[in-house]
Amino acid sequence: MTRAPLIGGAPSMNAIDYEPLPLAPRRSTSLSSADRQRLEAAQARLGWLIALLKLLSTCVAGVLIGATAAAMHDLINPLVVWRNSALQFFYQRSLAQAFGAQLAISCGLAVAGSLAVQMVAPLAAGGGVPMVMAWLNGNSIPGLFAPRVFVVKFFGTVAALGAGMCLGMEAPMVHLGSAVANAASSADQRLTALLLRQRWLLRLAGFRSVSEAEPEIAEELAIHAIGWHIAVDRREAVSAGAGAGIASAFGAPIGGVLFSLEEACSVWSRRIAWRCFLACAIATITHSTLNPHSASGLLSADLRPLRPNEWLQQLPAILAVGAGGGLLGAVFNKLRLLLRPWRAKAKHHGSRIQEVAVVAALTSATVAGLAATVGRCLPVPDEWAAEPMWVQHTCAAGQYNDLATAWLAPAVWSIRTFISLGTKSEPLAAQALASVYYSPRSLAAMCLAYLPLMGLSAALSIPGGLFMPSFLLGGSGGALAGLALRSLAPPGWRIQPGLYALCGATAVLGGVFRSSISTVVLITESCGTLAPLVGVIASVCASNAVAVLCGTEGVYESELEASLGLNYLSQAPPRALRPLVAEQLMSSPAQGLPCIVPVAAAEALLRRSRHNGFPVYDPAHVDTRAGSFRLDGFIMRSQVELLLQERVHCDRHGRYLQAPPQGLDVLAWEDRLATAMAAQLQRYSNSSAGNLLRLASRGVADPAAAEGGGGGGSGALRRTGSMGSSGSAALLADHPSPFDNQEVEPHLNLGPFLNRAPATVRLETPATRVHSMMLSLSLRHIVVVDENNYAVGIVTRRDLAHAAGSRLGRERTSWQPSAMELDALLERHLSAV
């Protein structure tokens, strides 16, 4: 009888196939033993070429990512300066006219960015880091790295910061860097496939006779060289691109590597580490070359190193500032969760754009009101004369409004002035609370007003991240605490308020994102000095402890939790899985295919099922009462689709009804089909409904033709001719055509293409171990078997997500087509086969 799991099975979800098909190599008779040895030697030599191309693509990606960061800085700063200059023109007339101009500029830029997101590239909204994390975790997100998403993300971020919203550019740079690295990896793979088809390269590899004897040798080389690991290579490239994006934004190459390790990546290896390091270093060097202001780090400050006794004196105060920053981060995360039900729905374009306009108007009104009522007019310090970024507002000539300057100046400049308080760059007078650089009441007003506006700005339909807003929030609060401590501490303590501003900014970062190691290294590298290292570490530890006590998750984890279409597997198995076993997770009964299956039965299964893979069994070993069968292997849906598309039909004994294409024997033809399956699986990782709908709607039988590209296994099948095309090879003499003689029912022989060693677990396997296997091995399915190796169910990523308790009862993702739509298109496609 069928087992009823304690946790109901969930519908399958698109995932990326990182695991290549482990097909057993077969010796084709089309090549002699000597030619086969030369082929293997050539593959070994060409491996160096492929490694060199990967190295070049990583370097090119690093250069482009650094140039992207420099270009964004060069667009944002002039736009902010122009906006402030325009506002100053109206400030000299009246505050009402200046407020109207500020509303017009801010709302206009914000609405333009939101309109582009809603109408052109919805995936460009927000920072994009959770989506990149989900993609690297194994979720297939179509269009995440598309060119239109890159363009909208880039210019939308510039518009958001020009509008003066509480957003930053660092998180969007992670998404942009990932998109650049993905494009570079795709170009690398296409270039590799192109080069491996060049006769001169084959001769250079040292097997001239092989290239003359086997016309398709280049295709086989291309498939074996790159077709088996396309998804893995792209995962490595995107991991490097994510780290390079944040590294170029902060000027912190090691911090970028650690960010990729701690936050972005779910799978890590030495090869990924080297690619990350190379991309981060090149991106940082490129950015510093094109933008000299970032050469010494984004937040370069002349902080004085403290002696050990000074650290001991000030450590309690630093821990207090860190705890306060952690509390601010926890309050922000709570506020963001409270506002989530009130957000406009993603498909309500007008409401989403209006929401952005309202938040931009509220931000402008808050800045204008606080600058007019709380801000103070202070004389311009000599230290600021070299870089006139201050805002005069309604002050007299030679003065500036401190609150308007802190809020409206470029965010990086404002943060630098915060953390430079009390240093040689911004020396303070003997009276600590004297109004120099920033008045205490302006810092307090900014800290209190920035927190709710930052909560409102998060999750809007406009590109922008939360790194710089967290810096400004924590920096203003930390600077205020540093000034207060300087006025209360004994004169011999030599308090630097800038150090407390930096510790406060770091603490808010730790409370918002719940990261530690990468945060410490990013901040330290971006400062260009190790002087504040002890304080940064202490503040991060205190803020994380407070966030844990408040029970808040990091912003990335909570965003992934709220995404209905994503099944994110965390690094550590959730607590909810600890008391469970595989039998309670699995979807049961398992839908399988016999090793030799009638074509009609295969078509029917594809019609009624959305699963991306099926266990294969021998009909002689089926337990009808228990609904199970002995597991003989596993086959992917894309493999069955390819066999149907190419009409690889056989009789019920497994004998092919048509001869292989001209020039190939049966083993060579099966090898060609197997490599084509591997290439197709890597190209279309979400091969379930999306691939089938794409093929059916375009009315083509070749996936590569549907995508307008080549270089995969299907290209070989096109040149040699498919079994169903006109003018194909003659039929075998002992079997008539199944289309002329209905007595011969066409079947599919799955045996030569099975994965004979699929990942399996027993019914009693702990759910935590299943979770670890799924994540560490980058699996898409795990078959659950009993003591007799009979398949009783399947565990997928979505089943694990449901079992964790976070997505129970949720609706299916809107990315999946409806059952009626899938059936109709599939019927239309298969009727043409």
Give just the sign of the alpha carbon dihedral 524, 525, 527, 528. Answer: positive
CB 680 within 8 A of CB 638: yes
Residue 254: in which H helix or E strand, if any? helix 253-259
CB 737 within 8 A of CB 657: yes
pLDDT confidence of residue 695: 35
| Residues 664, 312: Cα–Cα separation, whole Å | 79
200 pLDDT above the threshold of 90: no
pLDDT confidence of residue 715: 40
pLDDT confidence of residue 547: 92
195 pLDDT above the threshold of 90: no
802 pLDDT above the threshold of 90: no
Superfamily of the domain at 42-293: Clc chloride channel (1.10.3080.10)
Here the tokens at position 405 are: 């300057």
More confident call, 38 vs 610: 610
Backbone angles phi, psi at 422, to 5 degrees: 85, 5
More confident call, 434 vs 190: 190
9 pLDDT above the threshold of 60: no
786 pLDDT above the threshold of 80: yes
Here the tokens at position 537 are: 């570490």
pLDDT confidence of residue 49: 81
In terms of Cα–Cα distance, which of 795, 666, 714, 776 is closest to 219?
A: 714
pLDDT confidence of residue 737: 44
CB 433 within 8 A of CB 440: yes
In terms of Cα–Cα distance, which of 818, 269, 806, 760 is closest to 575?
A: 806
Least confident of 56-60, 407-411, 736-740: 736-740
630 pLDDT above the threshold of 90: yes
More confident call, 798 vs 662: 798
Here the tokens at position 241 are: 């691109």
CB 50 within 8 A of CB 225: yes
Least confident of 16-20, 66-70, 202-206, 810-814: 810-814
In terms of Cα–Cα distance, which of 293, 304, 252 is closest to 498?
A: 304
581 pairs with which residues across the strands? 766
Q: 697-738: per-residue pLDDT in tens?
A: 333 333 333 333 333 334 434 433 333 322 223 333 344 444
pLDDT band at 10, cuts 50/70/90? very low
CB 24 within 8 A of CB 667: no
Amino acid at 508: V
pLDDT confidence of residue 293: 74
| Cis-peptide into 589, omega within 30 deg | yes
The whole-number average pLDDT for the span 483-502 is: 88
pLDDT confidence of residue 208: 52
pLDDT confidence of residue 221: 58
| Residues 589, 656: Cα–Cα separation, whole Å | 31
Q: 412-454: per-residue pLDDT in tens?
A: 999 999 998 888 877 776 554 555 789 999 999 999 999 999 9
More confident call, 270 vs 724: 270
Least confident of 384-388, 719-723, 785-789: 719-723
Give, in order, the Cα–Cα distances in Å from 554 to each of 19, 255, 333, 334, 374.
30, 18, 8, 11, 33
Q: 513-523: per-residue pLDDT in tens?
A: 988 899 999 99
pLDDT confidence of residue 692: 37
CB 182 within 8 A of CB 61: no
SS3 126: strand
| Residues 371, 358: Cα–Cα separation, whole Å | 20
Give just the sign of the alpha carbon dihedral 716, 721, 723, 724. Answer: positive
CB 510 within 8 A of CB 471: no
CB 638 within 8 A of CB 673: no
pLDDT band at 282, cuts 50/70/90? very high
Using the 8-state DSSP alphabet, how is residue 262 labeled? I
Here the tokens at position 18 are: 């990182």
609 pairs with which residues across the strands? none
CATH of 575-831, one of 1.10.357.10, 3.10.580.10, 2.160.20.10, 3.40.50.300: 3.10.580.10
Q: Do domains 320-340+417-562 and 575-831 have the same CATH topology?
A: no
The yes/no answer on whether domain 320-340+417-562 falls in CATH 1.10.3080.10 is yes
Buried b / exposed e over 753-788, threshold 16 CB at 10 Å, is: bbbeebbbbebebbbbebbbbbbeebbbbbbbbbee
Average predicted confidence (pLDDT) for the chain: 81
**Orientation angle between helical segments 170-195 and 467-488, nearest 10 degrees:** 140
Q: Is 122 exposed, middle or buried (0-12, 13-18, 19+ CB in 10 A)?
A: middle
Q: How many CB atoms lie within 10 A of CB 830?
A: 20
Delimit the domains of the chain by residue range.
42-293, 320-340+417-562, 575-831
pLDDT confidence of residue 831: 40
Backbone angles phi, psi at 9, to 5 degrees: -65, 145
Here the tokens at position 108 are: 């206009």
pTM (2 d.p.): 0.85
Least confident of 194-208, 370-384, 439-453, 755-769: 194-208
| Residues 214, 720: Cα–Cα separation, whole Å | 13
